[in-house]
Structures are given as C-alpha cells and as structure tokens.
Structure 1
Amino acid sequence: MNNSIHIVNLVSSQKYSFMRNFYSKLFFLMLPILASGQLYIGEGSSNSYVYNKGEIVFVTQDVNLQGDPDQEGGNFYLREEGQLIQGNESSLNEGNGIVSVFQQNTRNKWDYHYWSSPVGDPTNTIPLSNTGTNGFGNSDGKGNSRFYQPDDNNGGIYQPLSETSIESNPVPFIGGYDSQIVSGSYEIPSYWLYKFVTSNSYGQWRKIDGTTYSLNPGEGFTMKGIGTDISIAGVERSLDFRGRPNNGTIKVAVANEQLTLVGNPYPSAMNLSYYLLYNSGQSVTGCNLPYRSEITPTSGNQVITGAAYFWESDPTVQSHYVKDYQGGYGTFTPIDCSYSGSYAPAIFVKATNEGERALEPVPNLDQNGDPIYVDGNGDPIHADENGIPYEFVPDYDTDGNLQYDENGEIIYEMQTIATGKTGETIERRFAPVGQGFFIEGTTSGFATALNAFRVFVKESIPNKSQFKQSSSTTSTSKIAKNSVANEASALKAGAVSYDQDGFLILPEFNIEILINDLYIRRIKSITYDDSTLGFDNAKDGDNISELNTDISYVVENSERSVITNVFPYEIDVKLPLKVSGAAEINTYEMQVSELNFTPDESIYLHDKQTDEYHDILNESYEFELEKGTYTNRFEIVFKDAKTLDVEEIEEVKRSFNIYQNNGRAELTVLNPLETELKEINVFDISGRLLVSKLNEGTNSKVTIPSGAWSDGIYIIRVTTRENIEYSKKISVKNLK
C-alpha cells in the first residue's frame, strides 16, 4: 500500500506507547484508520509532521499542532482526499500549526462557487459572533476561530506545488475583478469574497473585509475561480486551505423565512442528510450508518426547512457583470438517512446588475414576423391605430387602455429571460470539504453542525459526494422521450426496496415540461409512507427559483411551490399542479422522463376543466394556456377515473335491463345504477339505424315508442359515457 503517514510526538490520552515514537522519515501505514485519544504534533525539525495520504485519521479528543503555516514541521497534511475526523464535541483544538487540506478550484475566473472553510486562523483570539460554537469567547487562543482575512499571513488559502506535495505558497488577494496566474502563481481578487446571513434579499450580501464583516466557522462565502480553464501543466488547480482544523459544535444564526449561506465546516466530508434532518427536527434514525456505527444519532430542534440550495451556472459565460450571469439554484432534500436524497437541478436564467432576475418584453411576433395574437378575422389584436401589430404585447389597465411610462413610451408585459440551459444531477448526500450551500430558517435560532455529522467519504468514489458540477450543462431542445430503463422493475408503486448497501430505494418518477420551447422544468415525485400530502420538512423541496412561466406542485396547507413532492401513495391520490404563464399564450409539452417502478395503471395529467386524462407515461402531451396562474385545474393522478376496470364494466353491463311491451308498443331501458348514458340506438336485423337517443344522462328509466316499427327482431345498443356497451335483441309484434 502507498497509504503513508508520518507521525511525530503523537500523544494519546490513553497513553498508547506505540504512538509516542519520533520518526524523521515517512513510513507506510498499513491500517486504513488511525485512532487516537489526542493528536499532538510538536514543531521539532522541518521533517516533523503528519502526512495522511487518502485515509482517515480519527481523533477522539483535541488536536494540538505546534507548527506554523509557512513551515513543514508541526503540521498535519491531508492529501489525496485524506480526512480528519474528531469525536468529542467540546474538545478545543490548539496551537499555531495547521491542517492542510485541498479542494479543487472552480472552473474559471468568472465562475462563482459557494465555499465554507474547514479551518480557521490559529492566531485569532477575537471572540466569535456565532454563539454556541465550540471556541466561542475563548481568549486563550484555543478552539475554533475566524477564517483568515485577505491581508493576513498566518495561513488561509495557498497554492500547492503538486497534488501530493506538502509545499504550498500563499495565494495573495489582489484588487480588481480578475484572478491572475503570474509566472504560474495564483492571485485571487478579494472583491468577490461575500457572505450571506439571515436574509432573503440580494442586497444582504456582505463583503468580507475582516473588520465590519468577518467569516465565522460554519458560514459560507463566495469566491470565484482561477484562470480561463482548469489545467495548468496537467495538474488540476487545487486550493490548499491551511489553518487550525474546525471541530465540534458549530452554530450559524438563522431566521424565519430567511436564507443563510452555510457549509461543511470540517476537514472531512459531512453527512448533509444528517445535518438537514437534525436541524429540521426530523427523525435521524440510521444517520450513523454505515460510516459512523459507533455513535447514536440524536434529533435536533426544527430551525430550518430541511432543504439545501446549490448555485449552478453556465461556465461558458465569461463576464463579471451580474447582468450577464446565467444560473439558478438546485434543490436537495434528504427525505431519510437511509435514502440517497433527491436533487432537482436548476434552470438557468439571466440577472440584472442588482442581482434580480432579468426580464424581457413578451413578444407579439413569431419567428416569421407574423402576429401571434389575432382575432377571428385574422387581424392582429395588439396593433396601433393603423393596424400595424406591436412587436411586444402591451400592458392595459382594467378599462382596456394602453399603459405608458413617464416618458410616454408604451409599457409592455414582461417575462423572465430563461437561457434554455439547466444544471446537472449532482450527488449531494455527502457534502465534501469546503462545500457551501443555502438553507432557509423556520424560526430565529441557530443551525448546528456536529462532529457526529462527519464521515469519511471520498469525492472520487462514484455516486457518493460531489463538490461542484462538471464543465457541461444541459441545453433545451425537446423533452427526451420516456427513458424508462427499468420497465420490468419488480418495484411497485408505494413499495420500498433496498440496494446492495442496505439503503432505501423508493419509487420515484420525473416529469419534464418543455415550456414555450425555451427551457425544461423537471419536477420529481417520490412515494414514501412516512410522509403527508402537506409540506414535509426535509422531504418536499420548494421551487426557490420559480419563473414567471413555470410548473410546480402545490401541497395541502402550504403556499409553497414544490418541485420535489414526497407523498404517501394510493392509486386514488391526486397531486395538484400550479401552472403559470406570463405570455398571452403559453405552450407546455409534458412527459414522464424517468421512473424506477411499475405503475398500477399509468401516470396521467388530469385536466379538471375538460375532465380529460392524458397518459404522460407513454407519450408526451402538449397544451396551450392563456396568461394567468392555474392552481385548481391540473393534477397528476395514477388512474383514469373515466376508465373502469373489468369488474366494474361487467357490473354496469349486468345492471341494464331492456324489455319490449308489445301491448303498449313501448321499449323500456332500465338503468338502476344511474350510469351516465351517452346514447341508445335501435337497429333492425339488417343493421340499419332506426332510432338514436342521445345524452339521457343518469336517468334510471328510458322509454322509446315502438308503434311505428314493423314486426320483427331488433337490436338495442346502450353506450355509457365511459364507452361501455350493452346490447340485447328484442322481438316486436304490434297488436292491431
């Protein structure tokens, strides 16, 4: 094995004698886990350090590092996804030495990423502002501390010489907007360092300047990337975070219905599902498995909704101007610790210089230059006094008068500018080192991170943990045809199964909607018995980036627009939709794109206004709507209520009784179940239609005079509204 560790004065509180030896050269550790009560690394010589290559070091109590950020000795180096996990929540790390841990640079100098530092400044003794955090108020230099400020030289963000080297150079923070690579060395502009705490408006971004606004443990921050690509001499651009490792209880303030940018504060991966379930007051059963079987999970108080929001953006946009940004927020909900969680990718939209969504006038002309909106005679509806159609749809007051701005210009209706691109599906269950994300508060309080959430999970293991999206995005053309890869799946609707690792497999399906031929909205549905038809924290994911023209779920007793709907399955369940349109006429094309179970019948879009059922599992359905918001018209259902099963059909057929009273010259049709009747037809023996009675409704008895009929055999056919047919022969003999 090449998993090496160099141990110097590694002292255990249990006094393990084998860990007290001094080694001036590297030796190979044959064990995947190194456990100790305490970890002490003395300064010694320049070769006195710990080097962890791709493994986990677990320390029960505190870590004491006696080195320095700018020297080799007395420090702890985590390489090739090596990670440090600590056990005791209240142990205070100390010393001026550093842990050095890598995370990859974002894709280019124009691209934002949300970060969270795994380390703090070992020389900073200023009390923290996030009350309850391990190390809060300590003036003795122990415990967690603020992250470095741009003008510090005590650690912070460094540039590694290689992916395995212990040598790194400080990355200077510079003025201006662009990162630089000068003679192979990184330079990062401090202009883009911001944090966002307890607010729901763009104006609450706060510049991290080290005086008015500092970065406390657990808080997230923004930082742009380096260069115009992601390769330099064949080495992917990693950033080296150097400082005292964060440990134990870390709290960040939240407030009701306000967003806060937080992140993984540790030099290890973090079980994001556990974090979200704990802070939303949900069950955390199984959150210790399979990586932390030695702990007993405990539940926390509800202070957040239980969803995490991740910024995604188009890497091809090369601009620092907010008005050029193209991006959006993906939504992750854990649902259950024994489940992988659900992630709904973002739809990319443009922004204004103020950070709000950019709008554009609603067009009144199609691609051929013809008016979209015309009256019955083919004349343009929106036109000037000469009949020339407006290029855009004007805004009118309630009396139908054109609206004008202060300059006398016509005011037009506006809509969000969608780019036609969406983000990717990214694994979010485990947050890697340095990952930042938004959460939404449900009350004033603190979102808490605990050592119990720390896990040893590598990003290099497929389908486990991802720091950022790749360099690609998904463009919109047409929705994909149903890609049901497991049509023969034994998983049934409403059931559960388990994968080879013992994790839940829940029945789920995605619906993709192509909106106005511009962009695709994907909504996800998951069946789970431990859920409700209302809004369930940590299960349902709301549409934080709802557009003017959009489709979401609506759930009981909530005003939220939901794009991940977790619900208890029954074949009769109905999932209402909210469909909005900003243009005068809006187009939608809808189809189930993925599912992992066999439905009892199918999956339908039910239009309650027309009472039509459209099988969107087996084919796409296109429809148009006029401008407006529709919250009580459409729903997703799992059976066609107008289609009866075999037993119901036979019961309806058996209920009919047809008889001929020749004495009264009258045919009678009895309908005791009061089934809705579409038509009753009378044919002679040659098949010629003699009589047709339409739309008799639910009448229990229908009579038809037969006195004008010739003597003979006739066939009576009854057809219901559900197209059930019942036929019977009768004999007519008119008595003279």
Structure 2
Amino acid sequence: MYAFNAFSYNTLITDNKISEYEDCNDKDNNSDFTDTFNTTSISSEPPVDIDGKFQLYFDGVDDYVEDASLLSGWQEVSLMAWVKIDPSGPMFQTIVGQDNFSLLLVFNRLVVKTNGSSISTPMILPSNQWVHISATYSNIENRLKLYVNGEEVNNIYLNGGPLNTDSTPFYVGRRYYGPDEWHFKGHIDEVRLFNKALSNEQIQKIVYQEIENNGNVRGTEIPINISSLSWSNLIRYYRFDSYRGNITDNLTTPAIDTGTGATLHNIATSQIVPQSAPMPFVTQRSGSLDAAVENTADGVNGDDVITYDWSIVRVEHNNVTYSSRQTHLGLIINENDASSNPIEYHVTNDSELNVSWYLKLDGFIDLEGESQLVQGEDSILDSASIGKIERDQQGTADTYTYNYWSSPVKMQNSASNNFRVMDVMKDGSDPNNPININFSSSGYDGAATSPIKIADYWIWKYANLPTNTYSAWQHIRKTGTILPGEGFTMKGPGTGSITTPQNYVFSGKPNNGDINLTLAANNDYLVGNPYPSAIDAHEFIRDNGPTLDYDNTPVPDSTPLISGTLYFWNHWGGGSHYLQDYQGGYATYNFSGAVAAAYKGSNHPDVAPGGAPTKKPGRYIPIGQAFFVTGENPGTINFNNGQRVFKTEDNSSVFIRSAFNNTTPTSETNNTDDGDDRMKFRIGFNSVNTIRRQLLLTIDDNATPGVDWAYDGKLNETQIDDMFWVINTDAYIIQASNEADINTTYPLGIKTDMDGINSIMIDALENVPDDFNVYLHDIELDVYHDLRASNYDIFLNEGEYLDRFEITFGTPEQVLGIDDQIASHIDVLYSNTIEKIVLVNPNQLHVKSMTLYNMLGQSVYTINNIAQRNYSEYKISNLNVGTYIIKLQTETGSLVTKKVLIK
C-alpha cells in the first residue's frame, strides 16, 4: 500500500466516519450538504425516454446513481468503469461501489477499499483524460488487485474471507456513510460489476470496447467471446446509453429497465452527454497513429494507443503511419475515408505491427522496409476482410540463379486459399509503385525491362514427393496452384549479377493462423514461411516433431513428423541454365545451430571465383523464405501463429539470396550466436576441386554421441568433393553430442573426385576455451595434427575415405604422450591424375631412397634425392599399366612398402 505525506488514509478510508480531513472535500469549504436521495433526476420536467451513445457527468456536489445492495458476502468480485476526472473536484471522491467494496479517488490516486483493507495506485490519475479503472478481489486466491487502463498496478495478499455482509446501496458517484458522501466530479461511463475475479487477460480484452451477451461475454468491436467469462457472471452493466425517466438501463437484463432499477439523483438532462471514451480508439486525422487518435477536447490521450498492448484501434483516415513497435488487441482498417478515398496505413522504419487478437482489414497496410505484421496465437483475420498488405523482399537479380520463395499473402478478394505466383508477386523496382510482372511463357531468360520480365519456365514446386528425386519436381509456371505454406522456385530477371538484389513486392490478403500440409514418410516437401513476419525455426521444428520434455528431449514412444533439420538452397554460381553447370548447395539448420552451404571457391572462404560465398541461416526464418523438410513419419506439417516473431534480417534472420556475404569467418572466435553459449566446433574442408564445406559439432547436454532427433543433420546433396561426420555409417553435416574429452572421437568421411591435396581446418570455435585442443587424427598415418596450430593438408587419391579421419580433443601431453612412435609414419601413393608418385611426410622424416618394383620383383626406377617436406611429388615416365610396389628406405633403416595401381 502506498502512503501519502498529506495524511494517513487507512483510518480515513476504513472507518465509517468522516475524518479530520473531511473539510477538504467541500469545494466551497462547506460540509453542510443536504441529502437529496429523493430529488427527481434528469430534469424537473416529466420523465422522458432517451437512447443513444452517452456518458454521465457528475457535478461533485450531489449527483449520484443508486441501485440495490449487491455485494454482500461475495467470494469474488470485479468492478470497473471509465472515468474522466474534473480537475476542480474535491480531494476525496467515491467513484463506484458500496461500503464493503468500492473504488475511491483520494488526492487523485485510485484506491480500492474492502473488508477493512485498501490499496492505491502508485501514480496520480490524470485529469480531463479518460482512464479505465478496475479492481478485483478473490477469496480463492486471497488477492486484492488494482488496475489502470487494464494494467495491474498494485496487489496485496488478503486472508479476509468473502466480502463483508453489507446492506448499503450500490452507488455510482458517492458513498453511503457519513454526512459527507464524497461525491465524484467528472464523467463516468461503462460501469461493470462481475461476481468473478477476472484475470488480467479478461480485463484487457474488455477495456477498450463495449460488451454484449452471446451466452458468454463478447466484445462489440471484436466479435469474439471472452474465454471462460459467462454473461451470467455480469451482475450489473451500466452503459449510460438508455434512460426511462430517472432510471438508467442495466444491460444484464434483456429489456430496458423502467420504473425500478438504477436511479439517477440530481442529474439533469444536460449532464447526459455524447460518449467519448476510447472504445475503441478512432483516428481523427492523418499522421502518426498516436497523434491521429489524440482528441484532447474529448479526453482521449493518443499515447495510450501505443502504451497499452491491448488497445483496440479503428483507422478511418488515409495515410495514418507509425514508425516504431505497436501492439494492439484489435485493429480495424476501413476501406475508405469519409471522402471515399482508399485508406492506406503505413508501418515504417522497419517496425513491428502486432495484432494479438483480431484484425479486420478492408483497407491497405504497407509494411515498408523490413516492417512486419505479427498476429498472436489466438489472433484471427476477419474472413470478411477485403483489404490487402504489401511487403517487399529481395531476391537475386541474376538470370540463371534460383531463389526458393514462399508467399506471405494469398490472392485478395478470393474465397480460395490457393494462389498463383502471378497473383501475389509484383515488380518492386520502385517500392512505392509496384507494378505487375511480365511473366513470359516463352524462352528461358528474364529481362531488365519495365516491368521486369520473368521467365515462368523456372517456377517449380516440390510438394510431398520422394526424397531427392530430381524428376519429381512439379512444373507450375505462373498459373500453377500453390498452397499457403508451400515453397516455389523462380529465377531473376537479369537486372544485375548474382549478388545484386532485385526487389519484389508481395501484395494480397495476409496469411494467418494454422496452415497445414500433408507429408508422407521419406518424402521431401519444399515449404516456406507463410506469414508477413519472421518465424522461429525452433518452434516450427518442435511443432512438427515428437512430444518434447521441458529440456527439448523427445518423450519415449512419441514420433516426429519431420527429420528435425531444415535445408535452405543457396544457388551460388554457374552462369547457365544447364543443370550440369549449376553451382549450389543446401545450408542446414536444427537445434544444434546452422551451417552454410558448400560452395566452390579458393583456399580462403571469403573469396570465391566462379561463385559467391554462401550464407549461414539463422534461427528466425525471414518473410518469403522457402526451405526443405523431410518426412520421418506420415502426418501434417503445421505452421501456426505461435511460431511468428518480429525479427528484422541480420545474422539470426537471413534470407538466402546471395545478395551479400554472410560466411562464417575462418578465424577462431568465441562469439555467441543469438545468446547460444554452447561449445561449437566449426570444422572446414577445402577440397582438391576447391569445394568449401563446413561441418558443425555442438556440445549439448540433451544430445548423445549417437543420432539425436533435431540435433544431428544429415547430408542431403551430392557435391563433387565433400566431407561429413560419420554416425552409424550415415553422412551428417551437423552433429551434436554431450561429450568432448580426451577419449572422445568424432569420425569424418571424405570423398574426392580426383587426386590431389585436401585441407582440413578449424573455420571457427565458439565458446571453446583457449586451452582446449582440437586434433585431426589421421588413422592410417597415426598422426595427431593440432588444428589450432595449422590446417591439415593431405594428398588423397580419388575415392571415399570413411574410416581414416576423426576429430579428437585433449592436451599434447595426454594425446601425443601415449606413444612417441604414432607420429613417425609416412605414406606414399601414385596419382594417376597427375601421373606422379606422391610422398606424404607430415613429420618431415629423412627418407634416403625410394624404389619402384614391378610385380616380378624387378626394380624399374630409383630416386635417391628425396625432398624433406610435408609432401612431395615425383614424375616417373614410360611406365606400363599395371601394379607396382613402392619401397621407401628411411635414415633409421625402416622400410615403408606400398602397392599402387598405374592406369
């Protein structure tokens, strides 16, 4: 409870007597008021019928409304009203209630009093401004709570039982006891009394709208029932809209009250004035939203529309804008303004428009830049909406390069959820003036015309078809049917290079709510973010997986729908429409983290002649981004509003379009990704054909060294060269485990398309201590190579190596001290590609001679001048096809023998 310096109001409020401060309550410093309970109200004229949208003004002297005693012995109660305080009113005022539960105004602080206890607001309520006040008490929860504009501002624990027995009248505008009734001065509207302690959510859903009887309590602006709130819980409801003589209607009864009921005392007809409380907020003009709804004359504070996340707004004016985060319970955008101009509502400055419960869209919402529309789990888009949104997204401008798209909208003014690409995508070269794209059905190339030309030959989808079957792609062109949540491919118009963005505008009715697609086991589905906001990949994976414990581990016997890993295509080069020239791969994401797609480059991952570096996807999937999922079991893929978040594009929300560099740096780093503090080992591979691949190992207590759903991500593509983790003989790009110690090993597989040098390296370390060693163990050579010191370069013949390499950890003393001989081996082989003998000598041991024998044991070639290098090459001419034996003589007299095949 808050105490005031002017007085201690405990005694003042809880005792049924006037305190020593009562004279402060008389605006004329005269407490000799006359009790006028029986004075005729409305006017001195005969009673009349009045109906409309009104509120009451109380003069602070003798005005009040009286009803029967209601609150005696209740177990729970909620009492609320809208008030606009007259600044000239007395210091002590009663707003509404009766002796055992009432809302008071003490020095302009709201106070709730019940059963001898009270609490107040920490703030002074503003004058000449509409404020919604409410209080609840529950004998079940033993809590007394106080709210301002739907926000809980104070509460205390009360173990006082039900409300006291009380026979005093229920008053609006005065109290019962004492010679001074503490009359209220100002406007009051929407008095509601419930015999239930409403939750915060229930209160917030009815603050900014009137309510009506639908069996349950339902809003009049948002025509949805308030959950678990029956109309029978509403005991009194005074809108102050209907009067029959001196009786104001109680809306809990079906008929308008006449003769008996809530009686007005000393209130003239002139005090029944037009309603002005913000139920809902309604725009008065164009401009910034807060300024657009501001109505000082009527007491509407424009800042409240943004301050309170449960505000309800009706936009009736064109060119209303807002440039920061805004959250509303409901948003209604009319089609036209009073002058019949189409209404446009602009969300600017990469901002969030969040509508948590209800959107009625008849006008146009322009989500400028990276602005997004987020709707909550229970939020609906009124099915009768005829309006649209527009949202930009950039794809590659290159003629030959695919983007994998999904649409955040469907066709405007259509009863069907299905759409065609030509229905929803526009040329956004001028974002302020999007125009229809010229989708051409002839030829294979787009063109940099105005509007841009797109070759619709390259529009395909892959909807619930066998995994990795190229012939299964479905050709849909510009007119083929696409379902919300499905992805599709499209190439650029040729307005620039592969790294140049081309702006498109998605225009149509926004997707919202549950979106479902059927998926069979062992099938792939190109799906995509279906909403005009980002989605959380973790939530999407969880919603389409097994039942998970609190720690993200699957509950036994529950089955996942998808494999738990998402695949994002990154087309990074090729310069041709021919399939064999495509250069691209799949970036990978799951609970362990993200890995960029393999790409063709040089020894440095940031330099890629013939192709652009690939990008690592983030946790938050941007608007318009498509990706592949694989069916683990048959079922239904589900997108829902619970997955939606506001996230502008950065390293944690990446649109895969090759428009800018987002590769992981090669330098070791301890930077975390989106607050992720797990140890992560990013192991790089640079092949003889300059294919750059990165693998991820994440240490997580929820994982094991075996296969873990949504933590281990399979390799799902074929590159000419590659490296991968080997788990149970299968190839993985991402692996997670709970082990990282001296005895832990993680097998690597390598395949090469030709003979040559391949490099294994650390691309990055995240949250790994500086003294934590990382070794590449070459099992065939018995070499432990410190990857923190340098890359491991090895000459390999073409083929697969599935049991030769592994990653392990430990200190040099722990690992290298096991056997001083394990680092003493060398290897020799013959490369038919370069027609040379290759000597691999990682420890640069001294080799005296190398001799080549045929299968008859005849020496056919001897080399005595052997280079003391990591590896060296030796040309031997005029050899016949066949099998040969190579013998090496070391300085210590050891022999190394190797059989080779010369083709």
Alignment TM-score, normalising by the size of structure 1 = 0.61
| Corresponding position: 1:77 with 2:77 | no
Q: 1:196 aligns with which of 453, 462, 472?
A: 462
Name the structure 2 match of 1:330.
587
Q: Tell me if the contact between 2:567 and 2:629 (Cα under 8 Å) persists in the aligned partners.
A: yes
1:305 CA displacement: 1.2
| Corresponding position: 1:465 with 2:730 | no
Percent of aligned pairs sharing the same letter:
28
1:124 CA displacement: 3.6
Deviation string, structure 1 residues 335-357 (Cα, Å, up to 9, x no partner): 3xxxxx322322359xxxxxxxx
Name the structure 2 match of 1:594.
764
Q: Give the letter aligned to residue 483 of structure 2.
A: N
- SS of the equivalent of 2:795 reads strand
Residues 31 and 483 of structure 1: CA distance in aligned 2, closer, same or farther (over 3 Å): closer
Q: Tell me if the contact between 2:687 and 2:722 (Cα under 8 Å) persists in the aligned partners.
A: yes
| Corresponding position: 1:616 with 2:787 | yes
- SS of the equivalent of 1:330 reads strand
1:204-215 equivalence runs, <5 A: 204-208=472-476, 213-215=480-482
- In the alignment, structure 2 segments of 5+ residues that lack a partner are 1-219, 225-277, 283-312, 602-607, 820-903
1:553 CA displacement: 0.8
Residues 108 and 547 of structure 1: CA distance in aligned 2, closer, same or farther (over 3 Å): closer
Q: 1:264 aligns with which of 524, 529, 542?
A: 529
CA distance in 2, matches of 1:593, 1:471: 22
CA distance in 2, matches of 1:255, 1:610: 45
Q: 1:347 aligns with which of 599, 603, 626?
A: 599
Greater strand content = 2
- SS of the equivalent of 1:539 reads coil
Name the structure 2 match of 1:186.
452
Q: 2:404 aligns with which of 93, 107, 114?
A: 114
| Corresponding position: 1:169 with 2:439 | no
Q: Give the letter aligned to residue 309 of structure 1.
A: Y
Name the structure 2 match of 1:697.
none
Q: Tell me if the contact between 2:314 and 2:332 (Cα under 8 Å) persists in the aligned partners.
A: no
CA distance in 2, matches of 1:515, 1:318: 22
Name the structure 2 match of 1:32.
325
CA distance in 2, matches of 1:157, 1:255: 30
1:509-548 equivalence runs, <5 A: 509-516=681-688, 518-547=690-719
1:113 CA displacement: 0.2
1:568-647 equivalence runs, <5 A: 568-571=738-741, 572-583=743-754, 585-596=755-766, 597-598=768-769, 601-639=772-810, 643=814
1:446 CA displacement: 1.7
Residues 25 and 278 of structure 1: CA distance in aligned 2, closer, same or farther (over 3 Å): closer
- In the alignment, structure 1 segments of 5+ residues that lack a partner are 1-9, 67-73, 127-144, 288-298, 336-340, 350-417, 490-497, 650-736
CA distance in 2, matches of 1:161, 1:625: 49
Deviation string, structure 1 residues 426-445 (Cα, Å, up to 9, x no partner): 34211111111111111121
Q: Give the letter aligned to residue 465 of structure 1.
A: S
CA distance in 2, matches of 1:332, 1:523: 12
1:217 CA displacement: 0.5
- SS of the equivalent of 1:632 reads strand
Q: Tell me if the contact between 2:440 and 2:453 (Cα under 8 Å) persists in the aligned partners.
A: yes
1:115 CA displacement: 0.4
Q: Give the letter aligned to residue 103 of structure 1.
A: Q
Return the structure number with greater relative CO, CA threshold 8 A, min gap 6: 1
Q: Tell me if the contact between 2:400 and 2:577 (Cα under 8 Å) persists in the aligned partners.
A: yes
1:244 CA displacement: 1.1
1:268-279 equivalence runs, <5 A: 268-279=533-544
Name the structure 1 match of 2:352.
56
CA distance in 1, matches of 2:514, 2:314: 32
1:323 CA displacement: 3.1
CA distance in 2, matches of 1:257, 1:21: 48
Q: Tell me if the contact between 1:248 and 1:450 (Cα under 8 Å) persists in the aligned partners.
A: yes
Q: Give the letter aligned to residue 467 of structure 1.
A: F
1:304 CA displacement: 0.8
Name the structure 2 match of 1:564.
734
CA distance in 2, matches of 1:472, 1:37: 38
1:339-378 equivalence runs, <5 A: 341-348=593-600
CA distance in 2, matches of 1:236, 1:588: 34
Deviation string, structure 1 residues 102-151 (Cα, Å, up to 9, x no partner): 1113232322100001111234435xxxxxxxxxxxxxxxxxx112354x
1:471-482 equivalence runs, <5 A: 471=659
Q: Tell me if the contact between 1:269 and 1:455 (Cα under 8 Å) persists in the aligned partners.
A: yes
- SS of the equivalent of 2:701 reads coil
Q: Tell me if the contact between 1:282 and 1:538 (Cα under 8 Å) persists in the aligned partners.
A: no
Residues 149 and 589 of structure 1: CA distance in aligned 2, closer, same or farther (over 3 Å): closer
Name the structure 2 match of 1:216.
483
Q: Tell me if the contact between 2:323 and 2:347 (Cα under 8 Å) persists in the aligned partners.
A: no
Structure label with greater radius of gyration: 2
Name the structure 2 match of 1:699.
none
- SS of the equivalent of 1:240 reads strand
Name the structure 2 match of 1:443.
633
Q: 2:646 aligns with which of 451, 456, 459?
A: 456
- SS of the equivalent of 2:760 reads strand
- Greater alpha carbon shift after TM alignment, 529-538 vs 543-552: 543-552
Q: 2:564 aligns with which of 306, 318, 323?
A: 306
CA distance in 2, matches of 1:230, 1:586: 32
CA distance in 1, matches of 2:421, 2:622: 23
Q: Tell me if the contact between 2:426 and 2:435 (Cα under 8 Å) persists in the aligned partners.
A: yes
Name the structure 2 match of 1:407.
none
- Greater alpha carbon shift after TM alignment, 222-231 vs 261-270: 222-231
CA distance in 2, matches of 1:348, 1:590: 16
1:628 CA displacement: 4.1
CA distance in 2, matches of 1:92, 1:472: 35
Q: Tell me if the contact between 2:572 and 2:599 (Cα under 8 Å) persists in the aligned partners.
A: no
Deviation string, structure 1 residues 366-387 (Cα, Å, up to 9, x no partner): xxxxxxxxxxxxxxxxxxxxxx
Residues 581 and 229 of structure 1: CA distance in aligned 2, closer, same or farther (over 3 Å): closer
Q: Give the letter aligned to residue 319 of structure 1.
A: S
Q: Give the letter aligned to residue 524 of structure 2.
A: L
| Corresponding position: 1:87 with 2:376 | yes
1:35 CA displacement: 0.5
Residues 575 and 236 of structure 1: CA distance in aligned 2, closer, same or farther (over 3 Å): closer
1:140-179 equivalence runs, <5 A: 145-148=417-420, 150=422, 155-160=423-428, 162-163=430-431, 165=432, 167-176=433-442, 177-179=444-446
Q: Tell me if the contact between 2:515 and 2:639 (Cα under 8 Å) persists in the aligned partners.
A: yes
Q: Give the letter aligned to residue 195 of structure 1.
A: K
Residues 22 and 533 of structure 1: CA distance in aligned 2, closer, same or farther (over 3 Å): closer
Q: Give the letter aligned to residue 562 of structure 1.
A: Y
Q: How many residues align?
A: 497
Q: Give the letter aligned to residue 612 of structure 1.
A: V
Residues 23 and 42 of structure 1: CA distance in aligned 2, closer, same or farther (over 3 Å): closer
CA distance in 1, matches of 2:341, 2:494: 33
Q: Tell me if the contact between 2:680 and 2:765 (Cα under 8 Å) persists in the aligned partners.
A: yes
Q: Tell me if the contact between 1:600 and 1:638 (Cα under 8 Å) persists in the aligned partners.
A: no
Alignment TM-score, normalising by the size of structure 2 = 0.50
